C-alpha cells in the first residue's frame, strides 16, 4: 500500500498549533521542529514489533475538549490520525502505517464516578484496565473484563477492540456491559452518550457503533460500564487431558455441574504449556506431559457451596476418566500461579521470534482440528522442524474454549513470506467453510484487512463503508486499516 496523497504532511505550523493547545509535554515531536528530542519509537511500533510506521508527532490530550480541538484541526487540515491506548493490540491497528499522527490516551486517566449501589463505573478512556479493576476491588466490585495485557491496556482501547478476554463466558461482552460512551467525531463533535442506565430504548444505540470499530469512526474519550460484585469465593482448577474430545466432555460437565458459578473455561495444548515452562523456568502444575490442559475457574457467593460443587465435579471427571489428572489451587497465590500458565502463553511466544496469530471462532467440535490441519500443512511443506533450518518453531493452539474462541499461533524464527503464504488465505478458507469468524476478539486492524470478506458478506461491508463515509468523510480516522 501507498501513502495517500490526499493527507497533508505535518509541518512546523501544525506543531505550533498543537503545542499551544496541549503544552510541549503533551505534543511529542520528532524531526518536525528543531527542538525535537523525544523518542517516538514506542508509539510507532506495535506490541509484537510486527507492524509500525514513522509518525513524527504524538499527541497526549488530557481531556475530551482537547481531543475535540485536535480532531477538528486534523480534519480541517486533512491530517490523518491513529487513536492509541496501551498499544497492546495484536492486529497492527494501534500504530501508524505511514506518518499518521498518534493520539494517545495515556493522560486521560481520571476515574469519573462509581455508584456502589448500581455498580456503574464511569472513567476516562485512558484508565489502565488493572487500575480500574483494583479501584473496583477496593469497593467489592469487579471490572467485567480481564485479559493478559491488563497491566498496560486502556479501557478505551478495550472498548475500541471489543476485547473478549478470560471471563466473557460469565460476564458477557462489552456490547452488553458498556452502558454508555463519550466519543469525539473527526469534525470535533462530542457525542455524549454516557448513559448510566441499564435499559434505554430510545432509538439508535450509538455507542454500539464505537464498540469494536477499532478507532475508524471517532475517538472514545469516556466509558460507563456496569460492574458485577466481586465474587466472595473464587476457585481455580487445572487439568491434564488425553484428547480434545476429553476437553469437550469436561466442558459439557463443567457447564452442567458448575453452571452458575463457572466463570472461565480455558484451553491450552501441551505445546503451549511447554513453551511457558521453557520461558519461565517454572515447574508445571501437573506431573508428566498431557496433550491438552484446561483451566476452570468458579466464582460464587458462598465458599462452602462452591467447594461442594467443585469436589463433586472433580470426583466425577477424574472417576469417569474424562480428565487424566488435576490440581485445585489452595489459596490466592496458587490461583494466580495457575492463571499464569494460561495468561503467559502470548508472552512466552513473544520471546521466540515472530508469531502469526489467528484469533478465530469455530464451532466447538472442530475447534482444535484447525491446529492439527495447520501443523499437517506446514509439515507437508517442509516448513516445521526443531533445528534452525526450519522457519517454523511451533504451532500451538489455546484459547477461550467456553466461547468457542481458538488462538492458533504459528511461531517463526523470523517473519517469513513463505510461511505466511502457506497459511493465508488457507486458514481463512478453512474458517469460512465452517461459518466461523476470522476474528473472535482481536479485531481486523491491518493484519486481517484483506480478509474481511471471509466473515462478512458484500452487503455488510458496503454498509460499513457507508457508515465510515458518513462519520469520517475525509477518511482521517485510522486509515489503511480494515475499512
Ligand atoms: P491499542 O492497542 O492501543 O488499540 C487497539 C485498537 O483500538 C486500535 O485500532 C486503536 O486505534 C483503537 N483505539 C485505542 N484506543 C482508542 C480510543 N480511545 N478510541 C478509539 N479507538 C481506540 N484481546 C482480547 O480480546 N482478549 C484477550 O484475552 C487478550 N489478551 C491479550 C494478552 C496480551 C499479552 C496482549 C499483548 C494482548 C491481548 N489482547 C487480548 C489484545 C487486545 O486487543 C488488548 O490487549 C486490548 O483490548 C487493547 O487495548 P489497548 O489500550 O492496548 O489498545
Ligand atoms: C489470549 O487469550 C489473548 O491470551 C492473546 O487473546 C492471544 O496471543 C494470542 O494469540
Ligand atoms: Zn484471547
The Å distance, Cα 88 to ligand 1 centre, comes to 5
Please compute the mean of the pLDDT values over residues 444-469 and round it to a whole number.
97
The predicted structure's pLDDT at residue 385:
85
Determine phi and psi for 24, rounding to 5 degrees: -60, -35
- Of all protein residues, the one whose alpha carbon is nearest to atom 6 of ligand 2 is 165
Q: How far is CA 226 from the centre of its chain?
A: 19
What is the spatial distance between Cα 85 and Cα 1, in angstroms, rounded to a whole number?
Answer: 25
The predicted structure's pLDDT at residue 392:
97
Q: CB under 8 Å to 328, separation ≥6 — which residues?
A: 235, 236, 237, 310, 314
C-alpha cell read off for 245: 474430545
Substitution site in 89, 103, 215 for ligand 1 pocket (most atoms within 8 Å of beta carbon): 89
The predicted structure's pLDDT at residue 28:
87
What is the spatial distance between Cα 55 and Cα 39, in angstroms, rounded to a whole number?
Answer: 11
| Ligand 1 atom having least distance to the Cα of 46 | 2
Is the Cβ atom of 405 under 6 angstroms away from ligand 2?
no
The Å distance, Cα 163 to ligand 3 centre, comes to 8
| Ligand 2 atom having least distance to the Cα of 408 | 10
The Å distance, Cα 77 to ligand 3 centre, comes to 38
Kindly report, residue by residue over 57-87, the tens digit of the pLDDT.
999 999 999 999 999 999 999 999 999 999 9
Is the Cβ atom of 163 under 6 angstroms away from ligand 1?
yes
| Ligand 1 atom having least distance to the Cα of 210 | 20
Residue burial 224-237, b: 16+ Cβ < 10 Å; e: rest: bbbbbebbebbbbb
Please compute the mean of the pLDDT values over residues 401-429 and round it to a whole number.
97
Kindly report, residue by residue over 275-326, the tens digit of the pLDDT.
999 999 999 999 999 999 999 999 999 999 999 999 999 999 999 999 999 9
Please compute the mean of the pLDDT values over residues 326-338 and round it to a whole number.
96
Please compute the mean of the pLDDT values over residues 419-439 and round it to a whole number.
98
| Ligand 2 atom having least distance to the Cα of 346 | 8
| Ligand 1 atom having least distance to the Cα of 440 | 25
Band (422; pLDDT cuts 50, 70, 90): very high
The Å distance, Cα 161 to ligand 1 centre, comes to 6
| pLDDT reading at 165 higher than 90 | yes
Is the Cβ atom of 161 under 6 angstroms away from ligand 2?
no
What is the spatial distance between Cα 96 and Cα 225, in angstroms, rounded to a whole number?
Answer: 29
The predicted structure's pLDDT at residue 122:
98
The predicted structure's pLDDT at residue 34:
63
What is the spatial distance between Cα 197 and Cα 185, in angstroms, rounded to a whole number?
Answer: 23
Substitution site in 53, 153, 208 for ligand 1 pocket (most atoms within 8 Å of beta carbon): 153
The predicted structure's pLDDT at residue 35:
64
Kindly report, residue by residue over 194-232, the tens digit of the pLDDT.
999 999 999 999 999 999 999 999 999 999 999 999 999
Q: 271 or 36, which is more confident?
A: 271
Is the Cβ atom of 133 under 6 angstroms away from ligand 2?
no
| Ligand 1 atom having least distance to the Cα of 152 | 52
Strand order in the sheet with 57-59: 27-29, 57-59, 101-104, 81-84
The Å distance, Cα 155 to ligand 3 centre, comes to 16
The predicted structure's pLDDT at residue 315:
96
What is the spatial distance between Cα 270 and Cα 259, in angstroms, rounded to a whole number?
Answer: 27
Is the Cβ atom of 359 under 6 angstroms away from ligand 2?
yes
Q: 25 or 354, which is more confident?
A: 354
What is the spatial distance between Cα 409 and Cα 352, in angstroms, rounded to a whole number?
Answer: 12
Q: Report the candidate in 362, 358, 363, 374 with the shortest Cα–Cα distance to residue 444.
A: 358
Among all bound ligands, the one having the nearest atom to the CA of 441 is: 1
3-state secondary structure of 1: coil
The Å distance, Cα 266 to ligand 2 centre, comes to 11
| Ligand 1 atom having least distance to the Cα of 104 | 15
| pLDDT reading at 368 higher than 70 | yes
Number of H-type helices and E-type strands within the chain: 17, 16
Kindly report, residue by residue over 238-275, the tens digit of the pLDDT.
999 999 999 999 999 999 999 999 999 999 999 999 99
The predicted structure's pLDDT at residue 387:
87
The predicted structure's pLDDT at residue 244:
98
The Å distance, Cα 164 to ligand 3 centre, comes to 7
What is the spatial distance between Cα 237 and Cα 353, in angstroms, rounded to a whole number?
Answer: 31
Neighbouring C-beta atoms of residue 202, cutoff 10 Å: 7
| Ligand 2 atom having least distance to the Cα of 164 | 6
The predicted structure's pLDDT at residue 36:
64
- Of all protein residues, the one whose alpha carbon is nearest to atom 2 of ligand 2 is 399
Band (386; pLDDT cuts 50, 70, 90): confident
| pLDDT reading at 37 higher than 90 | no
What is the spatial distance between Cα 59 and Cα 229, in angstroms, rounded to a whole number?
Answer: 36
Among all bound ligands, the one having the nearest atom to the CA of 147 is: 1
Total residue length of the chain: 483
Q: Report the candidate in 433, 374, 441 with the shortest Cα–Cα distance to residue 403.
A: 441
Q: CB under 8 Å to 465, separation ≥6 — which residues?
A: 483
Among all bound ligands, the one having the nearest atom to the CA of 167 is: 1
Q: What is the mean pLDDT of the chain?
A: 96
Neighbouring C-beta atoms of residue 465, cutoff 10 Å: 11
ipTM summary value: 0.99
Q: Report the candidate in 441, 262, 291, 279 with the shortest Cα–Cα distance to residue 349.
A: 279
Is the Cβ atom of 361 under 6 angstroms away from ligand 1?
no
**Cα separation of the two ends of the chain:** 14
What is the spatial distance between Cα 423 and Cα 276, in angstroms, rounded to a whole number?
Answer: 24
DSSP state of 402: G
Is the Cβ atom of 346 under 6 angstroms away from ligand 2?
yes
Please compute the mean of the pLDDT values over residues 81-103 and round it to a whole number.
98
| Ligand 2 atom having least distance to the Cα of 166 | 2
| pLDDT reading at 30 higher than 90 | no
Cβ–Cβ under 8 Å, residues 136 and 127: no
* Cut 0.90: pTM above it: yes
Amino acid at each position: 500500500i501507498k501513502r495517500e496523497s490526499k493527507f497533508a504532511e505535518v509541518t512546523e505550523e501544525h506543531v505550533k498549533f498543537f503545542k499551544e493547545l496541549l503544552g510541549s509535554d503533551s505534543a511529542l515531536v520528532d524531526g518536525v521542529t528543531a527542538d525535537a528530542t523525544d523518542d517516538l519509537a514506542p508509539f510507532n511500533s506495535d506490541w509484537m514489533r510486527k507492524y509500525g510506521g514513522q509518525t513524527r508527532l504524538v499527541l497526549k490530550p488530557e481531556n475530551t475538549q482537547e481531543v475535540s480541538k485536535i480532531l477538528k484541526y486534523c480534519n480541517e487540515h486533512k491530517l490523518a490520525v491513529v487513536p492509541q491506548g496501551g498499544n497492546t493490540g495484536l492486529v497492527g491497528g494501534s500504530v501508524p502505517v505511514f506518518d499518521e499522527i498518534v493520539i494517545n490516551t495515556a493522560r486521560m486517566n481520571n476515574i469519573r464516578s462509581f455508584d456502589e449501589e448500581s455498580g456503574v463505573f464511569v472513567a476516562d478512556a485512558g484508565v489502565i484496565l488493572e487500575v480500574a479493576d483494583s479501584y473496583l476491588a477496593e469497593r467489592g466490585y469487579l471490572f467485567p473484563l480481564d485479559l493478559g495485557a491488563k497491566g498496560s491496556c486502556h479501557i478505551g482501547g478495550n472498548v475500541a477492540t471489543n476485547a473478549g478476554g478470560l471471563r466473557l463466558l460469565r460476564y458477557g461482552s462489552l456490547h452488553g456491559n458498556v452502558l454508555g460512551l463519550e466519543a469525539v467525531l473527526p469534525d470535533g463533535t462530542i457525542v455524549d452518550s454516557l448513559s448510566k442506565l441499564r435499559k434505554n430504548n430510545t432509538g439508535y444505540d450509538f455507542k454500539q457503533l464505537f464498540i469494536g470499530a477499532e478507532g475508524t469512526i471517532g475517538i472514545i474519550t469516556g466509558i460507563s460500564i456496569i460492574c458485577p460484585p466481586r465474587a466472595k469465593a473464587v476457585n481455580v482448577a487445572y487439568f491434564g487431558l488425553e484428547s480434545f474430545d476429553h476437553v469437550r466432555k469436561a466442558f459439557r460437565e463443567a457447564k452442567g455441574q458448575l453452571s452458575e458459578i463457572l466463570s472461565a473455561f480455558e484451553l491450552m495444548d501441551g505445546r503451549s504449556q511447554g513453551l511457558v515452562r521453557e520461558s519461565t523456568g517454572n515447574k508445571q502444575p501437573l506431573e508428566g506431559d498431557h496433550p491438552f490442559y484446561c483451566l476452570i475457574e468458579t466464582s460464587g457467593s458462598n465458599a462452602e457451596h462452591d467447594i461442594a460443587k467443585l469436589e463433586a465435579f472433580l470426583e466425577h471427571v477424574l472417576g469417569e476418566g474424562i480428565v487424566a489428572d488435576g490440581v485445585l489451587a489452595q489459596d490466592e497465590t496458587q490461583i494466580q500461579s495457575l492463571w499464569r500458565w494460561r495468561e503467559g502463553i502470548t508472552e512466552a511466544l513473544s520471546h521466540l521470534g515472530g508469531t502469526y496469530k489467528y484469533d478465530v471462532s469455530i464451532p466447538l467440535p472442530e475447534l482444535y482440528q484447525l491446529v492439527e490441519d495447520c501443523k499437517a500443512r506446514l509439515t507437508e511443506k517442509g516448513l516445521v522442524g526443531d533445528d534452525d533450518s526450519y522457519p517454523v518453531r511451533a504451532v500451538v493452539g489455546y484459547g477461550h474454549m467456553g466461547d468457542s474462541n481458538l488462538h492458533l499461533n504459528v511461531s517463526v524464527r523470523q517473519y517469513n513470506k513463505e510461511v505466511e503464504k502457506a497459511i493465508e488465505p488457507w486458514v481463512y478458507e478453512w474458517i469460512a467453510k465452517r461459518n466461523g469468524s476470522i476474528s473472535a476478539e482481536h479485531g481486523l486492524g491491518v493484519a486481517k484487512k484483506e480478509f474481511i470478506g471471509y466473515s462478512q458478506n458484500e452487503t455488510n461491508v458496503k454498509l460499513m463503508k457507508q457508515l465510515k463515509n458518513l462519520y469520517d468523510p475525509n477518511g482521517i480516522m485510522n486509515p489503511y486499516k480494515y475499512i
